[in-house]
Amino acid sequence: MTVASLASAPIAPARRNLHRFANPGRFLRLAGRVLPWLAAPGVVLTAIGIVWGLFFSPADWQQGDAVRIMYIHVPAAWLASAGYAGLAACSVASLVWRHPLADLAAQEIGPPGAAFTALCLITGSLWGKPMWGAWWVWDARLTSVLVLFFLYLGHITLIRAFDNPERGYRAGAILALLGAVDLPIIKFSVDWWHTLHQGNTFSLTGAPHMYITMIYPLIFTTLGFSLVFAAIVTARLRAAVMERRIRALLLARAEERVA
Amino acid sequence: MTYLPYIIPSYALGILVPGGFGVAAFLRMRRAARRLAAIDPRRARGGDARGRDTRRGDAS
């Protein structure tokens, strides 16, 4: 194969689709259309789930009403991990395909991801105190989620620590990929070690270890929080793309004046 | 309810954290859109604020 034929070789469909949305104008239009469809159902589902979980779902026979904390804690825990998985996926897209929006997306996922991880840790602590008699234990599940929180903070700091943003993005992407090792540790920590934290309630093969009337509000809050999280990240990314264009325009004007 | 001192802060945080981030993101987006609309030359030429030059029928 000659160099000329390599240069004119068609781009693989997956890569072409991935790069279609690298165009800021196209991304902004798509994000603008998608955003209301993420935000509105997200808020409605979350509101239904919260009211259902707080007032209408049954109390647990052992834990009593403290089990209602689950309807906040579990979606926050899911999004802590899912957000970091998204961060790692953006890092792959940045390092492998050099996707222009991947770095910005990783930058914008970090703060809400860290906030939801903190929410998971705090609500877990508020649930643990009445159930275990302690605000915190150095349990494998709790500790691995705390490590995830520090990974988020490290990523947020590292990506903004360089004068040259490209170097910050690259360092952040490498940290995000290395930190992704923590995700399976979080998931399987309750199987690999004896933990005070309860085991997995849901599995792909078995029936859930939970009463069905508790599962419904949990599904509502989990779906609602997920859509709200997606809406937050989309809105932040949309703002970041516009801010980048503003910076570029102001820089071009400044250069024109100097010239 | 014995556990109210634990339940109420959990739900308050569960509403405030996503709500706060959502409102902040929306305000940041609106501020950026207004600023871009004010300085983007393509808008002044008849395009829109998002970098699309409508004169040429540019869809990208």
Query: Given this model, what pLDDT does residue A117 score?
Result: 97
Task: Concatenate the DSSP letters of all residues of A126-176 into one string.
Answer: HHHHHHHS-S----HHHHHHHHHHHHHHHHHHHHTS-SSHHHHHHHHHHHH
Residues of B in contact with A119 (CB under 8 A): 13-14, 17
Three-state DSSP state, A64? strand
Mean pLDDT of all residues in B24-49: 80
**Is the confidence at residue A13, as pLDDT, over 80?**
no
pLDDT band at A8 (very low <50, low <70, confident <90, very high): very low
Distance CA B57, CA B47 (A): 9
Query: Given this model, what pLDDT does residue A11 score?
Result: 53
Listed in sequence order, the residues at least 6 apart from A78 whose beta carbon sits closer than 8 Å to its beta carbon are A222, A225, A226
B57 touches chain A (CB under 8 A): no
For residue A98, how many C-alpha atoms fall within 13 Å in the half-sphere facing its CB? 1
- A-B CB pairs within 8 A amount to 115
Three-state DSSP state, B45? coil
Tokens of A133: 């008699």
CA A144 to chain centre: 16
Highest mean pLDDT among A96-100, A223-227, B42-46: A223-227
Query: Given this model, what pLDDT does residue A12 score?
Result: 58
**Is the confidence at residue B53, as pLDDT, over 50?**
no
Query: Given this model, what pLDDT does residue A18 score?
Result: 60
B15 touches chain A (CB under 8 A): yes
pLDDT band at A21 (very low <50, low <70, confident <90, very high): low
For residues A176 and A60, the model is more confident at A176
* ipTM of model: 0.85
**pLDDT tens-digit series, residues A128-180:** 999 999 999 999 999 999 999 999 999 999 999 988 888 999 999 999 999 99
What does residue A107 show for φ and ψ, rounded to 5 degrees?
Answer: -65, -35
Distance CA B29, CA B39 (A): 16
**Is the confidence at residue A6, as pLDDT, over 70?**
no
Contact A112 B26 (CB under 8 A): no
A65 vs B3, B41, B58: nearest CB: B3
pLDDT band at A20 (very low <50, low <70, confident <90, very high): low
Lowest mean pLDDT among A26-40, A116-130, A169-183, A189-203: A189-203
Mean pLDDT of all residues in B9-33: 95
Share of chain A above pLDDT 70, in %: 89
Task: Tell me the whole-structure pTM to 2 decimals.
Answer: 0.86
